[in-house]
């Protein structure tokens, strides 16, 4: 029977999508729009990020400070 899986499955998929979005560097504001939330506060619960993303962002910021460029490029 279609839809007979656990009731939390769609929420789990939504949470997984949102977490992957953030870990790939997607913005919280864009995710808010994709998920259709009226408040970014609601979207923040989906915004879990990995330690790897934190490390990549720290390295990116260090590079920007070192080179004085945005996103590590000369644009």
pLDDT tens-place string over residues 27-43? 899 999 999 999 998 88
Average pLDDT along the chain: 79
pLDDT of residue 32: 93
pLDDT of residue 56: 85
CB 47 within 8 A of CB 18: yes
Element (H, E) at 48: none
CB within 8 Å of 34: residues ≥ 6 apart? 21
What pLDDT tens digit does each residue of the chain (75 aa) get? Answer: 455 566 667 778 888 888 889 888 888 999 999 999 999 988 887 766 777 878 888 898 999 998 886 654 544
What's the whole-model pTM score?
A: 0.57
């Amino acid at each position: 029977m279609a839809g007979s899986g656990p009731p939390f499955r769609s929420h789990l998929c939504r949470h997984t999508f949102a977490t992957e979005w953030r870990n790939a560097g997607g913005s919280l504001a864009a995710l808010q729009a994709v998920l259709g939330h009226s408040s970014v506060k609601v979207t923040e619960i989906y915004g879990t990020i990995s330690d790897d993303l934190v490390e990549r962002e720290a390295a990116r910021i260090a590079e920007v400070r070192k080179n004085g460029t945005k996103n590590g490029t000369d644009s």
